[in-house]
Amino acid sequence: MALSILAREYGRDIVPMSSIARDRHIPQRFLEGIFLQLRNAGLLESTRGVSGGYRLSSPPGQIRILDVILALGEDVELISCMDICGRASECEFGLDRRFR
C-alpha cells in the first residue's frame, strides 16, 4: 500500500514517510523496517533531513511485485501454469524464465 503512494508520486518530489504512515494507517516504525529493506535492495531512494523522504529508484512499471517480495526476504515458490487437462502451458503472468 505504501509503495502505491510512491508510484503515484513518481517523477515529482520525495514523499515523507510520516505522511505515508498517516495516510495508510501504518505504524511508522513498521514502515521504517520495510523501507530499509527495499532501499537496501535498490528499489527505493531516500533523502535525510527535515524535508527528507522516499521515492522509487525506477519507474513504477519497471518494478515487479516479485522484486518487492524477494527484497523483503520472503520465500517464493513458483509453479508452472497448467491447462485444464493438467499439461504445462504458457503462463499469462509472464514469469521470468529464471524462475520457471
Contacts of 82 (CB under 8 A, 6+ apart): 88, 89
User: What pTM, to 2 d.p., does this model score?
Assistant: 0.71
pLDDT the model gives residue 31: 93
Residue 78 clears pLDDT 50, i.e. is over it? yes
Residue 96 clears pLDDT 70, i.e. is over it? no
Considering only residues 80 and 15, tell me which one the structure prediction assigns the higher pLDDT: 15
pLDDT the model gives residue 51: 82
Tell me the C-alpha distance between 9 and 24, whole Å.
Answer: 15
Q: Indicate the average pLDDT of the chain.
A: 82
Domain architecture of the chain: domains with CATH: 2-75 (1.10.10.10)
